[in-house]
Chains A and B, each alone.
Chain A
């Protein structure tokens, strides 16, 4: 029996598609230049990884900082396990992490009602950076924080991350 782990249903078969949508707590990897997109990032963070040598690229849309706090078996939902999962899937497809760089966006502080010092958005961004650092993957561009939502299109052929918002100019990272 299959067990739904909240991650992408992608795999070999989806490779011919030109545009792959990545939902919340999902990821996808492409080795053939597909465009990866995700929408509606509030406090969530989109992590886009691109191997500059092979072109293998991946995108994960994480929701919460640390998997250990919830233990619900959906690695792509969390910043730490989500980034780890994306890296291992990319490596499996032939990516080299030594030539892989990261671009991240999201982690807005909008509508944070919590009493704690740091918003979920900030904690998500912090955890993503920490996990990437543990693999020595550098974050070459970021558009995080603020109080507005974002949608992303990751052009895997160029490694360009397009960040769209409702009331702001589109950013190209």
Chain B
């Protein structure tokens, strides 16, 4: 099964249309104005689904759909915001029971709009069950992804909808079954020379995970900080939506440009507290500083360099291509502003972008790190074309052999 970049672009637009239809339905029925913040298609391991929701207490609605597409979808938002939503619908003093029914109502309105948006775009019919009310903590609220014994990665369509003027976000997750989705994608693909076999995208994702493990290993070797979870996913979105996937929070880290096949940018970013923690673990003397100093930044530069090398070497080995990178540039700025000029540089030549990201964290310390690659789209496609699937399956059997660890 092949999907081409055009069909990924089409499906991204489709997901956006669905979310847009949801916001229109909402405005029409309730007078609540919302707008679609982010829409992206992601291929990720099923076990890692929903990490964006971690730590949130959520409520919402869920239902199955079938027809042109088959699968499950949910719309959720933070429980603490439900009062504001009930108030907007019912006025002040709504009981909890009434609040729940208003959540169901809103969910129903938005998700009917969402599914209708998809169906209209695909010129097909999609039936859905009546929605059911769901509540839960973090990613546990998401439905089980469709069972599939053949593969452990799933496509997920994610949209984030923002209520204008209020601090309320709605998260839509749509989990279509793999076969009908990829069949539909193949149907909607344009010029075939752009096509990427889906399996290669999945294999690439696994390689990235190995690259992240290598980088995590380097962190542990240098700092003694053992990272426990690595998340790796490949997303596809319009270039102008790429920076939106980063927050305004201040990050510290390194950025390099890598050249080879593919070329692009690689970022290693820590939140400020993690940067201080990890930098101090590298320093020979105790600092116990609460502020980020130049010494911290120098340590981050060194660490970023080593993590970058580990990551890029992992890619180069599997792709059997040389990938060189520039010396790291240290950044200390709003995450979104850091990615913005990089997206703009790619945006001169491409309308959509692949965003490959890995996260590592540890429970013991306050520590989180993100490695993000933003490759040139066409070059990534070419590299995937060259990718020998037999070789990537070796990564599972013998990581060290492939990555030369």
Contacts and interface: CB of A to CB of B under 8 A. Distances in A.
Nearest to B334: A149
B340 A24 contact: yes
Given A24-B240, A40-B243, A150-B337, A111 B331 contact: yes
Interface residues of A, number: 46
A10 B250 CA distance: 29
Contact of B338 (A8, A42, A63, A114): A42
A25 interface: yes
B389 interface: no
B238 interface: yes
Contact of B337 (A9, A21, A108, A120): A108
A74 B240 CA distance: 10
Interface residues of B, number: 48
A39 B336 CA distance: 8
Given A6-B240, A149-B333, A166-B250, A44 B340 contact: yes
Nearest to A147: B333
B248 A42 contact: no
Contacts of A69: 348
Interface in B320-350: 326, 329, 331-345, 347-348
Nearest to B163: A17
A87 to B, nearest CB: 21
A33 to B, nearest CB: 13
A13 B347 CA distance: 32
A105 B27 CA distance: 32
B44 interface: no
Interface string A37-72: 001111110000000000000000001100001101
A21 B162 contact: yes
Interface in A110-163: 110-114, 119-121, 148-151
Interface of A: 1-2, 4, 6, 8-10, 13-14, 16-21, 23-25, 39-44, 63-64, 69-70, 72, 74, 77, 108, 110-114, 119-121, 148-151, 166-167
Contact of B345 (A10, A114, A150, A166): A114
B344 A43 contact: yes
A42 B329 CA distance: 15
B13 interface: yes
Interface stretch (B32-40, B176-184, B303-311): B32-40
Contacts of A120: 341, 344-345, 348
Nearest to B342: A111
Task: Determine which residue in B36, B165, B246 has the highest number of CB atoms from chain A within 10 A of its CB, and name it.
Answer: B165
8 contacts: A17-B165, A40-B337, A42-B243, A110-B337, A111-B329, A112-B345, A148-B337, A149-B334
A65 to B, nearest CB: 9
Task: Determine which residue in A8, A23, A70, A77 has the highest number of CB atoms from chain B within 10 A of its CB, and name it.
Answer: A23
B255 interface: yes
A39 B347 CA distance: 19
B358 interface: no
Interface string B47-83: 0000000000000000000000000000000000000
B366 interface: no
Nearest 3 pairs of A and B residues by beta carbon: A149-B337, A40-B336, A42-B340
B168 to A, nearest CB: 12
B348 A64 contact: yes
A64 B347 contact: yes
A43 B336 CA distance: 11
A2 B121 CA distance: 10
Contacts of B248: 39-40, 151
B244 interface: yes
Interface in B345-403: 345, 347-348, 351
